[in-house]
């Protein structure tokens, strides 16, 4: 009586172990998955959504915009979100982002900030912050992280609600129509609040950028500290923010946080991790300990930037990720990751303030270089030879 049952279970777990993590497009429900570069739910205009509210249990949305920004700087009207935190990360090309807290803008007690974001630079826009942006280069990729997930429904609904004809354009637009707002589709602009979009049409973006910035704070000219609250936009230029060196499991990882739970009231974190291939096992067998297993209570996503990363999720075949690939792991799911190439780097997002980044930084030390230490005699050297 027991035997057939046992076989059934064994077959099921075998089948499970062979399940692939790769999917063709963003799933509509919560599960672990991996997507090749450029895959995911798409909208016209170069928008791809590798992670959505549906696929992440509403933890976060990742939106990649690939577009030509050279012709007049494609962007959107100034607006505020009251519930959605939105980060603007430049993967390639350049993006200009403006931001100012709404309350201090209205009371005229703060100064508007803008930055030109090059590759690897980020601007974090807490909710209640006026913002607008422009893409600037012919081949620009802007990666937006929107928290909580679900905001993306605005883009999908905007898309099925086409822009009204522009008055006087000869295409039959009725006289007296409001001029359509670029980026608002056919929505009534007084009624965008149901999508958590509040236009701020009096906001005039400043144009006096010098050396990539205007308004208070450092940019490429000094360290970019993380503030302890959400009172203003947060700007972190590539490698100019805080860095932590972890050697957990005997291998180096540099954690470069953009925002942690402290800057997001515990709702998410984002940054990059740069890692070295795992240590060669003792005994000279030549085998390499490639991966480190972790488990976090919150969802985790990686988007690859350099090198090659092997990722395993319990119950799935492991996958090998390269440039642009995305992997998503729900909370409370064990997974492992390890580099198979030198200087492997990825952007991470966690669906709460105390995720993988926090686990690593809690056991790491402050670090002031973009490079991890190189052993004497190591085959590959980048930058200076560093010692700890």
Ligand X SMILES: *[C@@H]1O[C@H](CO)[C@@H](O)[C@H](O)[C@H]1NC(C)=O
Q: Which active-site residues does the annotation give?
A: 79, 81, 86, 131
Q: Which helix (H) or strand (E) holds 9?
A: helix 2-17
Q: Does 152 bind ligand X (CB under 6 A)?
A: yes
Of residues 52, 224, 274, 374, which one binds ligand X by CB under 6 A?
A: 52
- Tokens 């993988």 correspond to what residue? 356
Choice between 167 and 373, CB closer to ligand X: 167
Among 19, 179, 332, 378, binds ligand X (CB under 6 A): 332
Q: What DSSP designation does 166 have?
A: P
Per rule CB under 6 A, is residue 208 in the interface with ligand X? no
350 touching ligand X, by CB under 6 A = no
CB 227 → ligand X: shortest distance, Å?
13
* Bridge partners (DSSP) listed for residue 98: 114, 132
Supply the minimum distance, in Å, between the C-beta of residue 340 and ligand X.
Answer: 29
Computed on alpha carbons and rounded to an integer, the radius of gyration of the chain in Å comes to 23
Residue choice 107, 169, 190, 287 for contact with ligand X (CB under 6 A): 190
Could you give the CA distance from residue 25 to residue 42 in angstroms, rounded to a whole number? 9
Binding segment for ligand X (CB under 6 A), chosen from 163-171, 186-194, 217-225, 366-374, is: 186-194
Nearer to ligand X, 187 or 367 (CB): 187
CB distance 129 to 203 below 8 Å: no
Residue 310 as a binder of ligand X (CB under 6 A): the answer is no
Binding to ligand X by residue 161, rule CB under 6 A? no
Does 191 sit near ligand X (CB under 6 A)? yes
Instruction: Rank residues 179 and 265 by Cβ distance to ligand X and give the closer one.
Output: 265
Of these, 34, 35, 47, 54, which contacts ligand X (CB under 6 A)? 54
Q: Which of 252, 270, 223, 243 shows the shortest CA–CA distance to 125?
A: 270
Q: Count residues contacting ligand X (CB under 6 A)?
A: 15
Region binding ligand X by CB under 6 A among candidate stretches 16-24, 131-139, 185-193, 305-313: 185-193
Please give the helix or strand (H or E) that residue 356 lies within, else none.
Answer: helix 356-362
Euclidean distance between CA atoms 240 and 331, whole angstroms: 30
The residue (of 267 and 344) whose beta carbon lies closer to ligand X is: 267
Would you say 166 or 385 has its CB closer to ligand X?
Answer: 166
Residue among 258, 263, 270, 261 at smallest CA distance from 229: 263
Distance from chain centroid for Cα 36: 16
Segment near ligand X (CB under 6 A), from 187-195, 237-245, 284-292, 335-343? Answer: 187-195
Min. distance of Cβ 154 from ligand X in angstroms? 10
The residue at minimum Cβ distance from ligand X is 331
Confirm or reject binding of residue 156 to ligand X (CB under 6 A): yes
Alpha helices in 265-311 (DSSP H): none
Q: According to DSSP H, which parts of 101-152 are helical?
A: 102-106
Strand ranges (DSSP E) for 44-169?
A: 47-51, 61-67, 79-80, 85-92, 95-101, 113-117, 122-125, 129-135, 140-147
CB nearer ligand X, residue 48 or residue 141 = 48
Tokens standing for 387?
């010692």
Q: Which residues contact 198 (CB under 8 A, 6 or more apart)?
A: 79, 80, 81, 82, 192
Which one, 180 or 271, has the nearer CB to ligand X? 180
Distance between CA atoms of residues 76 and 184, nearest Å: 8
The binding track of 98-137 with respect to ligand X, each residue x by CB under 6 A or -, is: ----------x-----------------------------
> How far apart are alpha carbons 306 and 7 in whole angstroms?
43
For residue 357 the two structure tokens come to 């980044």
Footprint (CB under 6 A) of ligand X, residues 247-306: 265, 297-298
The site for ligand X (CB under 6 A) is made up of 28, 41, 52, 54, 108, 152, 156, 188, 190-191, 265, 297-298, 331-332
């Amino acid at each position: 009586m027991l035997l057939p049952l046992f076989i059934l279970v064994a077959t099921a777990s075998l089948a499970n172990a062979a399940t692939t993590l790769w999917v063709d497009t963003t799933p509509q429900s919560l599960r672990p998955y991996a997507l090749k570069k450029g895959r995911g739910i798409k909208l016209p205009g170069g928008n791809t959504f590798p992670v959505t509210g549906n696929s992440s249990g509403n933890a976060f949305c990742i939106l990649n915009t690939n577009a030509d920004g050279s012709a007049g700087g494609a962007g959107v009207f100034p607006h505020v979100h009251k519930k959605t935190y939105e980060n603007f990360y430049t993967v390639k090309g350049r993006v200009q982002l403006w931001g100012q807290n709404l309350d201090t803008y209205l009371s005229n007690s703060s100064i508007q900030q803008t930055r030109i974001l090059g590759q690897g630079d980020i601007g974090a826009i807490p909710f209640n912050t006026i913002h607008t942006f422009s893409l600037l280069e012919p081949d620009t990729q802007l990666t937006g992280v929107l928290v909580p997930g679900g905001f993306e429904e605005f883009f999908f609904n905007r898309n099925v609600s086409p822009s009204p004809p522009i008055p006087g354009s000869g295409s039959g637009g009725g006289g007296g129509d409001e001029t359509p707002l670029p980026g608002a589709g056919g929505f009534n602009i007084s009624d965008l609040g149901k999508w958590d979009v509040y236009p701020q049409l009096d906001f005039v973006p400043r144009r006096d950028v010098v050396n990539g910035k205007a308004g208070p704070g450092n940019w490429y000219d000094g360290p970019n500290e993380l503030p302890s609250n959400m009172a203003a936009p947060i700007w972190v230029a590539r490698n100019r923010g805080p860095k932590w060196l972890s050697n957990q499991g005997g291998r180096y990882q540099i954690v470069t946080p953009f925002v942690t739970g402290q800057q997001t009231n515990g709702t998410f974190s984002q940054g990059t991790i740069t890692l070295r291939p795992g240590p060669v096992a003792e005994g000279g067998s030549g085998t390499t300990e490639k991966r480190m297993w972790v488990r976090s209570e919150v969802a985790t996503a990686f988007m690859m930037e350099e090198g090659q990363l092997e990722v395993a999720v319990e119950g799935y075949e492991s996958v090998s990720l390269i440039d642009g690939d995305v992997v998503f792991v729900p909370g409370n799911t064990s997974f492992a990751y390890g580099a198979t190439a030198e200087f492997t780097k990825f952007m991470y997002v966690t669906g709460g303030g105390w995720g993988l980044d926090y686990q690593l930084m809690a056991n790491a030390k402050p670090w002031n270089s973009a490079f991890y230490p190189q052993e004497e005699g190591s085959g590959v050297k980048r930058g200076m030879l560093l010692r700890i």
